[in-house]
Amino acid sequence: MEHSSGKRPRGVASVVGALSMACALVVSLAPVLPTVAHASGVRTSFVSDSSWSVYRGGPPGLGALVGPAQAVCLNGLFPTSCPAGATLYGYPGFGWGADLASIPGAAWIWGPGVTGSSGSADLAELWFAKTVTLGGAALSGTLAISADDSAQVWVNGSAIGSVGSVDDPRLSSLSQGALTTFDIGPYLVSGPNTLAIRGQNGPQRYAGCASPCSYAQNPAAVVFGGSLTSDAPASANGSLMLNGTTAYAQAPHDANLNVTSDWTVEAWFADDDSKGFEHDYVTLLNKGDRASSGEAPYVITLGYKRLLVGLRHAWTDYTLQYDLFQGRVDARLWHHVAATLQRSARTLTVYLDGVQVAQGVLGAETLGNTLPVQIGRSGPQSGKYFHGRLDDVRIWNVARSAADIASSYRSELSGSQAGLLANWKFNEGVGSTALDSAGHHDAVLNQGAVFSSDTHP
């Protein structure tokens, strides 16, 4: 970027460069904006915002997860579209003048926790990642991007193009001032798609400051958005796919989900771990985080060839377990778990694939908590991420009978169901929101969680 005097602003160029190398975003097109059905297909829009996961040292699977992206701005005036709550670098100049009208809602983003006083901005590198699964054939796709200082766009392992430069400040300035649009349609496929944007900040000489420069002197950021269109049928069934390292879905706390009376919880699961069920404990469903809350009204855990279901009180898990190895349960297949609790007698009953496999009396009751419902992990602190697929997750405030469970576990529920508090069917196919068909507890897909066209039998 150039000042009116002809000198390129120090901070702006750095931002694009840091993204060029640093933002090898595995943006597997998990859209942030709503999907729209057209006669010619289903269009999904996405923009850069805090829903993107940030990695250092490489994309997911190679790099280390840093956390969610944060919106950043040069200062309180630039860019003019600076969103409320964004981190202000405090850069004493102007820049990032790309017209974002074609990607409404997009924000300039960078890594979490970075401020203007953060050092080592020169040639900084980050990766921002998202994934989306197309339920049908891809019809078209575009991605528009601006970067400070450079960025490379990749889709499903193929390099599509690049913007900006960490060698030529003129190209970096051009990149910050306008969006460049890439046609990504030919590289999209039916099923999971991975788009990567490798970004890198510019060197110290771009900013003209003493090395190492801070982000106030040599800012970094990237902004992008676009859409893809597929012929995926709007009514297609689906499931939730999780990568076992970062991905999960989360529903906000609500008093009626904090069930401390009778309850039933249900979920279909397919374990994709290469070890089958012989892996560390992972969480399928949990309200709370075992590292930050000593209470949890319900929890379903899987690991070491065992399935555990129960609750938590005073930092102790009270669960029943079923030995999947002794039960000769095939780890390669979909399975349905259900559990009911009759609080008056503290009787917990566990079902697998519609058949009772365990029953016992728990040693305590729980007070519950005010934390979100975690689907596919224990929580942000304790982790325990599940690698596999989940489907038709249900939470009830009644203890369902064995006959009720056996008669309905294979079929999706429709209409009003007495006692059903939440039901996530994961049939959306695209987007980052799993609708609650039973109420208002929509869950958000995070950090690589995507919809899959694969479903239980």
Residues of the chain with pLDDT > 90: what percent?
Answer: 63
- The Cα–Cα gap between 192 and 131 comes to 7
Helix axes 10-22, 169-177, angle to 10 degrees: 90
> For residues 190 and 137, is the Cβ–Cβ distance under 8 A?
yes
Q: List, as own/partner pairs, every contact residues 351-355 make where C-beta atoms lie below 8 angstroms and the sequence separation is at least 24, other chains included.
A: 351/402, 351/405, 351/406, 351/409, 352/307, 352/322, 352/327, 353/409, 354/405, 354/406, 354/409, 354/410, 355/406
Find the mean pLDDT for residues 368-378: 96
- Mean pLDDT score of the chain: 86
Higher pLDDT, 148 or 34: 148
18 pLDDT higher than 60: no
Question: pLDDT digit string (tens) for 110-154?
Answer: 888 999 999 889 999 988 877 666 667 889 999 999 999 999 888
Per-residue confidence (pLDDT) for residue 3, from 0 to 100? 30
- The Cα–Cα gap between 447 and 209 comes to 35
**Side chain identity, residue 211:** S
Per-residue confidence (pLDDT) for residue 256, from 0 to 100? 93
64 pLDDT higher than 80: no
406 forms bridges with which residues in the sheet?
Answer: none
- The Cα–Cα gap between 124 and 350 comes to 51
Residue from 440, 337, 352 nearest 390 by CA: 337
Query: Could you tell me the domains of the chain?
Result: 10-230 (no CATH), 239-452 (2.60.120.200)
User: Phi and psi (nearest 5°) for 18?
Assistant: -60, -35
**Distance set, CA 28 to CA 31, 46, 143, 188 (Å):** 9, 11, 12, 10
Angle at 427 between CA 422 and CA 432, to 5 degrees: 85
Q: Strands 87-88, 70-73: parallel, antiparallel or unpaired by DSSP? A: parallel
- The Cα–Cα gap between 404 and 406 comes to 6
> For residues 72 and 22, is the Cβ–Cβ distance under 8 A?
no
Q: Rounded to two decimals, what is the model's pTM?
A: 0.55
Per-residue confidence (pLDDT) for residue 38, from 0 to 100? 44
Query: Residue 86 CA to chain centroid, in angstroms?
Result: 20
Omega cis (within 30) before 212: yes
Pair of tokens at residue 91: 């850069």
Per-residue confidence (pLDDT) for residue 373, from 0 to 100? 97
- The Cα–Cα gap between 161 and 141 comes to 14
Per-residue confidence (pLDDT) for residue 158, from 0 to 100? 85
21 pLDDT higher than 50: no
Per-residue confidence (pLDDT) for residue 55, from 0 to 100? 81
74 pLDDT higher than 80: yes
DSSP SS3 for 6: coil
159 pLDDT higher than 90: no
Per-residue confidence (pLDDT) for residue 61, from 0 to 100? 63
340 pLDDT higher than 90: yes
Residue from 47, 58, 51 nearest 198 by CA: 58
